[in-house]
Amino acid sequence: MAQTEKKGGLLRKSSASKKPLKEKVVLMYDEIFTTEDPSKCNPRFWEELFLMKVNLEYLEGKLEALDGEELMKIKDNINCLFQHCIQALGEDHPIRVVNALQV
């Protein structure tokens, strides 16, 4: 039976014929790091994001890998992320509050 390994946001099957699968939260982080508004295709994007366990290692790695020019291109999405973190802190849902604090 194939074993699953979790590292850096990847869920990887030990079988060489399988493509690595990414965690849903990692896929959502990747949407934030594009120039498009991540809530454009999914109006519940931010609500769903804060219900998922934070993958801080992946998020920090993505931020550290950006240079100044790349950061400016996604500035609006980064600002949106922090705005929604602040909003989530005021919610009654404890999971959202804890995840918003971790981001």
* Global pTM value: 0.78
Q: Enumerate residues 6+ apart whose C-beta is below 8 A from 28.
A: 38, 45, 48, 49, 52
pLDDT at 52 over 60: yes
| 2 pLDDT tier (thresholds 50, 70, 90) | very low
Summarised one tens digit per residue, pLDDT across range 53-93 is: 999 999 999 999 999 999 999 999 999 999 999 999 999 99
Radius of gyration of the chain (CA): 15
Domain boundaries, the chain: 24-102
Summarised one tens digit per residue, pLDDT across range 19-42 is: 778 889 999 999 999 999 999 989
pLDDT at 45 over 60: yes
Task: State the Cα–Cα distance between residues 41 and 6, nearest whole angstrom.
Answer: 28
What is the H or E stretch that residue 10 is in? strand 10-13
C-beta of residue 29 within 8 angstroms of C-beta of residue 59: yes
Task: State the Cα–Cα distance between residues 59 and 28, nearest whole angstrom.
Answer: 10
Summarised one tens digit per residue, pLDDT across range 3-22 is: 444 556 665 555 566 677 88
